[in-house]
């Protein structure tokens, strides 16, 4: 799904109880209806959320790398360097600074109820 406002292919899609919510990486938010309401989307049988659902396609690879770092730290009982290591992965990721900062905040301050609401800060 590309953004209906700016055409970006960096979009996320959250299946909510009453509608499908979309957000693009530039902060545009829109809603689509399920078939039962006349829209084009099949409603999932179960509504579940995961952190990965809130990641834009360009963030998913980086997130996997961060989880690797996290698992390694976990095995070593966390040295307190986790946040630095996350920063390190982001610095090497090739994401632009703003996108990297947003991803960092998302991971550190993940709140499932706020993952898509609010949009542009």
If DSSP codes are grouped into helix, strand and coil, which group holds residue 34?
Answer: strand
Q: Residue 1, interface with Zn ion (CB under 5 A)?
A: no
Closest distance to Zn ion from the beta carbon of 38 (Å): 24
Binds Zn ion (CB under 5 A): choice among 10, 19, 21, 28: 28
Span of 5-13, 14-22, 53-61, 101-109 interacting with Zn ion by CB under 5 A: 5-13
Closest distance to Zn ion from the beta carbon of 24 (Å): 3
Cα-Cα-Cα-Cα torsion 111, 112, 116, 121, nearest 10 degrees, comes to -10
Closest distance to Zn ion from the beta carbon of 9 (Å): 10
Measure the CA–CA gap between 43 and 23, rounded to whole angstroms.
18
Q: Residue 12, interface with Zn ion (CB under 5 A)?
A: no
Tokens of 52: 């990965």
Measured from the CB atom, the residue of 2 and 84 that comes closer to Zn ion is 2
The order of strands in the sheet holding 29-32 is: 11-15, 20-24, 29-32
Binds Zn ion (CB under 5 A): choice among 5, 51, 78, 110: 5
Residue 88 and residue 66 in contact, taking contact as beta carbons nearer than 8 Å: no
Q: Which residues bind Zn ion (CB under 5 A)?
A: 3, 5-6, 8, 24, 26, 28
């Amino acid at each position: 799904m590309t953004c209906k406002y700016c055409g970006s292919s960096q979009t996320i899609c959250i299946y909510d109880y009453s509608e499908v919510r979309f957000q693009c990486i530039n902060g545009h938010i829109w809603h689509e209806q399920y078939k039962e309401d006349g829209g084009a989307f099949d409603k999932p049988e179960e509504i579940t959320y995961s952190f990965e659902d809130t990641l834009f396609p360009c963030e998913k690879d980086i997130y996997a790398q961060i989880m690797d770092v996290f698992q390694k730290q976990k095995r070593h009982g966390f040295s307190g360097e986790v946040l630095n290591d996350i920063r390190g992965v982001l610095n090497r990721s090739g994401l632009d600074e703003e996108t990297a900062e947003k991803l960092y905040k998302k991971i550190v301050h993940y709140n499932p109820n706020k993952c898509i609401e609010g949009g542009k800060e």
